[in-house]
């Protein structure tokens, strides 16, 4: 690995540390994204090796991928049997082959076992023992071609995972780099929560004053989304109840809500329909709502008094519906130290939370957080860290107790 690559290696996370990924690049114009893709995989700890078809080399120069990965680029198969070196059955073999961006031609060749480029030969070599992911990119009419669709389905049945394209501007554009990296991490992450069903809430609720104005708070939803995605990486079946306007997520099963009432209905619906192992209530739920919402927009330029009433306490319903579920509550307070721990313990005694993650209000809207994790018989203070890293620590704590 070259020096300039070492400078960025695992700077975003260690999720892919120790993982060797073959980035197999066919001849799509979207190949221009592969420099950034390779660098992002490296920032999460991966070792990346590029393999390019002859068509791909007409779009992006192999020197660019050599710079991006810090490794020699395979542009042809020689007596060094590069396809076996990268994807054969031996201990130095890759952990994943990622075909990106995959053309209709390449997908169909892979489905038919045709090996006439370094890309298709590496995939065939890997097929029986290495995970393969394919991120298609082509004109939308090609993506809708019945034979291409049949070939995609055939490969899915054989265990190949597809990262769906973005259908826009008449094209099946390759998925975003963020989504591809997310899906790669999910594919390779240890599945320590496999078989567990997890419900997570995230974001700030809205309580409407009139049809366009509402009461809310500064929560971005980052913490809840990080917790949901970490559970997803670890193999859990995740449902994310996310408020409108909060940060987006790649978790597949999402329910969008706005008000406390909507969130309560969504949680009750899930807990009545399915048995959950863990419920994590990370959303910043409004404590008050307007007693009478105006049916029309309130005119501006005059004083306004609002009568507020308490909203339903969502956390109190969880153990009523599923007494055995492992419940993780969040507690945000202006105070810190002993008073913060006391507030967390009060929640445990009042509603039966198994863990409470307590923090001060400065974490709202921030990318970092400093928390105290409080259980029935312990208190653990964590230093300030990124919310993604904090999500890992919280799930480590939950996993020790379920």
Is the pTM higher than 0.85? The answer reads yes
Decide which of 188, 210, 235 is a domain's last residue.
188
Instruction: Note the pLDDT tens digit of each residue in 380-397.
Output: 999 999 999 999 999 999
Residue 364 pLDDT > 90, yes or no?
no
Say whether both 98 and 130 belong to one domain. Answer: yes
Residue 399 pLDDT > 70, yes or no?
yes
% of residues, the chain, pLDDT over 70: 98
Say whether both 180 and 304 belong to one domain. Answer: no
Say whether both 182 and 207 belong to one domain. Answer: no
Say whether both 138 and 83 belong to one domain. Answer: yes
The residue among 152, 175, 138 whose CA lies nearest residue 27 is 138
Decide which of 166, 188, 210 is a domain's last residue.
188
What range defines the domain where residue 208 resides? 197-399
Residue 368 pLDDT > 90, yes or no?
no
Residue 337 pLDDT > 90, yes or no?
no
> Residue 269 belongs to a domain with what CATH number?
3.40.50.10300
Residue 363 pLDDT > 70, yes or no?
no
Say whether both 7 and 32 belong to one domain. Answer: yes
The residue among 349, 353, 356, 284 whose CA lies nearest residue 325 is 353
Pairing of strands 326-333, 371-375: unpaired
Longest dimension (CA), the chain: 83
**Average pLDDT over the chain, rounded to an integer:** 95
Query: How far lies 180's CA from each of 46, 100, 290, in Å?
Result: 14, 9, 43
Pairing of strands 326-333, 355-360: parallel
Say whether both 75 and 147 belong to one domain. Answer: yes
The domain total for the chain is: 2
Say whether both 31 and 133 belong to one domain. Answer: yes
């Amino acid at each position: 690995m070259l020096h300039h690559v070492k400078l960025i290696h695992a700077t975003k996370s260690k999720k892919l540390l120790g993982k060797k990924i073959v980035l197999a690049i066919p001849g799509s114009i979207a190949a221009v994204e592969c420099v950034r893709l390779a660098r992002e995989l490296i920032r999460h700890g991966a070792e990346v090796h590029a393999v390019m078809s002859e068509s791909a080399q007409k779009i992006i120069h192999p020197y660019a991928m050599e710079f991006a990965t810090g490794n020699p680029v395979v542009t042809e198969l020689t007596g060094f049997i590069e396809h076996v070196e990268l994807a054969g059955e031996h201990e130095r073999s890759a952990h994943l082959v990622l075909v990106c961006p995959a053309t209709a031609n390449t997908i169909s060749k892979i489905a038919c076992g045709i090996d006439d480029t370094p890309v298709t030969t590496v995939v065939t070599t890997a097929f029986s023992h290495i995970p393969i992911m394919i991120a298609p990119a082509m004109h939308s009419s090609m993506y809708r071609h019945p034979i291409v669709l049949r070939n995609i389905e055939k490969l899915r049945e054989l265990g190949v995972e597809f990262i769906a394209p973005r259908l826009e501007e008449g094209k099946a554009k390759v998925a975003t780099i963020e989504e591809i990296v997310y899906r790669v991490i999910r594919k390779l992450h240890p599945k320590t929560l496999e078989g567990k069903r997890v419900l997570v809430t995230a974001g700030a609720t809205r309580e409407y004053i009139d049809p366009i104005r509402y009461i809310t708070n500064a929560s971005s939803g980052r913490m809840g989304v990080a917790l949901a995605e970490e559970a997803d990486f670890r193999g859990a079946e995740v449902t994310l109840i996310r408020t409108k306007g909060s940060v987006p997520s790649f978790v597949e099963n999402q329910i969008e809500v706005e008000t406390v009432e909507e969130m309560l209905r969504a949680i009750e619906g899930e807990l009545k329909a399915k048995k959950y192992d863990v419920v994590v209530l990370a959303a910043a739920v409004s404590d008050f709502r307007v007693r009478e919402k105006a049916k029309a927009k309130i005119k501006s330029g005059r004083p306004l008094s609002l009568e507020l009433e308490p909203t339903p306490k969502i956390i109190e319903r969880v153990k009523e519906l599923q007494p055995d579920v492992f419940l993780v509550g969040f507690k945000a307070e202006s105070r810190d130290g002993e008073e913060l721990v006391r507030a967390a313990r009060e929640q445990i005694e009042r509603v039966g939370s198994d863990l409470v993650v307590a923090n001060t209000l400065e974490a709202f809207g921030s990318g970092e957080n400093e928390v105290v994790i409080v259980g029935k018989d312990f208190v653990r203070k964590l230093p300030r860290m990124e919310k993604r890293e904090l999500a890992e620590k919280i799930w480590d704590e939950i996993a020790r107790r379920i």
